[in-house]
Structure 1
């Protein structure tokens, strides 16, 4: 029950990211604004996440993970209600920032709490359930969002979070065990300013690079400032006694390798969702809800596979499911390089299902295998790194691939236009044997769509290569499950068998008077008893 409560809360926070993207055109029409301005509904949320996510681990250790989780769920519900009653674009952007603050905290806090309430030998199965929010929520977002936007009202995509958030907070109070504050230490102000400003600048450059121009003065300055700020953050964290995010965690190769693989998978996941959706809507003329229905089987395939992947991790370790899953993603993506304007929707759907099986099989073993190499008291900080890498790599991948798409599309249209000599006189419209103006426009539009889909095929080829690189990286994962580094556990006794830190009390004799259930060790190194002991 505690695990179900945590997964539901995180699913709500991540679902909001993709479900809002579907409503962007409708919001633009409702508020009568430009495309560039309405994009700030999504960009403001992303930028706020980059600021708050590094702070999440420290907040959990300082005030207690349970308390921070409950307040974050309620805060997310409040922010969603404010977004639903927004009266213009400016108010909606401000309320999206308010919504993003608890929305960025929830996934990090949830991950740390999962590691505290689940026995180590079952952590793979638990992470398979946890992963539904990371992979399944973005995939199901277009379907749910498309239905609400087309048949109800776009404001409902925000209002729907209010009752879910309130019920989730009540369930958390009733079901979650006690999570006392841990070893938070003094707040690292300078480290926070460095990493927050660096991530803000990076995400802003990635969000506005297409409209401002990647070689423009503003984008170049933002990228340089981001690189310098993040480098300064590393220096600060290596010097202070109580770092906000301990960068020494990257000494654990398994964790570093898992972050590299997560970044590659995030690019493959979100670029597939983004560009397939574009193709279905722009090249085949589907609506938002119809597009979501085509992509829904992929989400269902992922949902079915992730719990299986968790059980495989518990038995076999991360290497085998990760390698097989990434191979499926690479094959499914490569087969999409042959798409055409007239490709049947059923064919696209089955290719997406193949990718969904691969994503569900690989994502959680990779993440869990990396976290298994981290000391227990650093899991919450490692979760913050995971969250930052997922969001920045997805934004970076989509931005770079979109720049490639725009450039190649313009070049291919110019190449086809060059096939007609400049000295060729245009046909006299209306004369016998010549097409009408409407016919010429239809030819141009058809050519433009064919070029667009051809360039998308090139993007899918690049994504397939990225997935192959992930397969190579997955070969370096451990082939068996190992406990996270830390003091050895005590011999088999009725006392806490899962604890990695010896209890200062003498172990009691086995007997019927022993009523305490096994204790789980928290991210702060402390024990937390489950209800019922």
Structure 2
């Protein structure tokens, strides 16, 4: 598709496209890519032994994944204007497949890390393409249901990751974490090659290389700094410098985007009030989501002394319920708009995190499962409806930029949230053990962990209350007049 075909506006007729196969192709691709974000979590202790590297090194298999996505996603808005949907999606899946194969046969840590980085390049390209395609092929009044299906994948895949990896690690070697993904990725590539259609406008804007460098240093520095903070503490040079340099680069990046005629990430999206509100709301809610996903397994394994597999199983029902709820809340969103879902959803999230603050060694696994299910029901009522509301207000030419902004900030907020909550948890545990008469005793260590976790969950509760206040301002939105089809600024 060329730029000339856009003179009439949208450049293609969405009503003539077979949406089903396109959405199915997106869902399979997204499922394997997102599953891989959480698949390695349970396997890290075994990889330490298998690859003979310290824990601080093995963490890079997860950190590098987040880092690459955080750096790549901001640039996807420009890439989507240079390449067709089909080219972008197939490139993403082929990169992901290549990374998975490299990781599966890796002789040592360095090659395994290379495979993970290539996988992450695929995932980073895929997420914005997926959202942008949904926005292009569905009119605003039907987007909720389609976004709900995508939500099912985005929520369900990370939820089953720990269980699947626990199951694999119990009976097979770590290589099967990658080997078993290969056939699904191959199927996704073949299916997309047959059914994927071009739904975006290729306008080939001028690319500002300095902006890309600034965005890479900025987002990369911030994500890296916060990721390290969880491991080494806040006062470390490895934390302070990357965050400081990253923050300065981001400031210069933002100022430059506002001056450029064709910015890499068009921040004019923030002129639309509902998009701006939703961005802040999702930033806050993602911090809570990432941190509870990190803290709950620690509680189950460190306090209730469960195996990795059993802790994965304990968190599975919440993931399944969330997966079922995502399309339901999408359909409800199409019918009733965002307020009916988002405000009660945020109250449910705040309430369940408040109940987390009371967890201790006498807490039963059944109680944990129940509260976790309630938390994820609340989240499924918030995530996709809020995202769809924000994006619906944007004119068509800002779709790639809107999706890039939301996806980038979710990665950044995940890194910040995880680091913040883990450091609060660690400090709480240290303070408790400092006053303990027998700090080496496993029971005392578990009590210290409870103290730390409770402090972290209290912070989570305060953040959730902020989200509730933000949610009160959410409204149903429409695309600007005359811009639903056209491209004009």
User: Shorter chain as normaliser: what TM range?
Assistant: over 0.9
Corresponding residue of 1:445: 442
1:456 to 453, 457, 472: 453
Corresponding residue of 2:15: none
Is 1:84–2:101 an aligned residue pair?
A: no
Conserved 8 A contact 2:429-2:450:
no
Is 1:116–2:111 an aligned residue pair?
A: no
Q: Give the Å deviation of 1:341.
A: 1.2
Partners of 2:140 and 2:232 in 1: how far apart?
48
Partners of 2:32 and 2:93 in 1: how far apart?
9
Is 1:500–2:455 an aligned residue pair?
A: no
Corresponding residue of 1:385: 405
Is 1:376–2:396 an aligned residue pair?
A: yes
Q: Give the Å deviation of 1:289.
A: 1.3
Return the TM-score normalized by structure 2.
Answer: 0.92
1:113-168 alpha-carbon deviations (Å, 9 max, x no partner): 11112232110111111112322222111111111112222112212222112211
Conserved 8 A contact 2:353-2:460:
yes
Counterparts of 1:66-465 in structure 2, within 5 Å, are 66-179=86-199, 181-417=201-437, 444-465=441-462
Residues paired across the two proteins, number: 468
Greater alpha carbon shift after TM alignment, 27-36 vs 3-12: 3-12
Change (3 A) 1:6 1:475: same
Conserved 8 A contact 2:428-2:455:
no
**Bigger share in helix:** 2
Structure index of larger Rg: 1
Partner of 2:474, secondary structure, is: coil
2:482 to 487, 492, 517: 487
1:381-408 alpha-carbon deviations (Å, 9 max, x no partner): 1111111111110110110111111212
Corresponding residue of 1:466: 463
Partners of 1:41 and 1:14 in 2: how far apart?
15
1:62 to 72, 82, 99: 82
Partners of 2:198 and 2:452 in 1: how far apart?
53
Structure 1 outlier segments of 4+, above 6 Å: none
Greater alpha carbon shift after TM alignment, 460-469 vs 353-362: 460-469
Partners of 2:434 and 2:92 in 1: how far apart?
51
RMSD: 1.7
Q: Give the Å deviation of 1:251.
A: 1.4
Runs of 5+ in structure 1 lacking a partner?
418-439, 489-498, 502-523, 526-533
Partners of 1:35 and 1:178 in 2: how far apart?
44
Partners of 1:103 and 1:16 in 2: how far apart?
9
Runs of 5+ in structure 2 lacking a partner?
1-19
Partners of 2:299 and 2:354 in 1: how far apart?
16
Partners of 1:52 and 1:33 in 2: how far apart?
28
Q: Give the Å deviation of 1:338.
A: 1.2
1:31 to 51, 58, 69: 51
Partner of 2:94, secondary structure, is: helix
Conserved 8 A contact 1:195-1:230:
yes
Corresponding residue of 2:4: none
Partners of 2:30 and 2:114 in 1: how far apart?
22
1:490-527 alpha-carbon deviations (Å, 9 max, x no partner): xxxxxxxxx623xxxxxxxxxxxxxxxxxxxxxx78xx
Conserved 8 A contact 1:78-1:162:
no
Conserved 8 A contact 2:219-2:246:
yes
Q: Give the Å deviation of 1:181.
A: 4.5
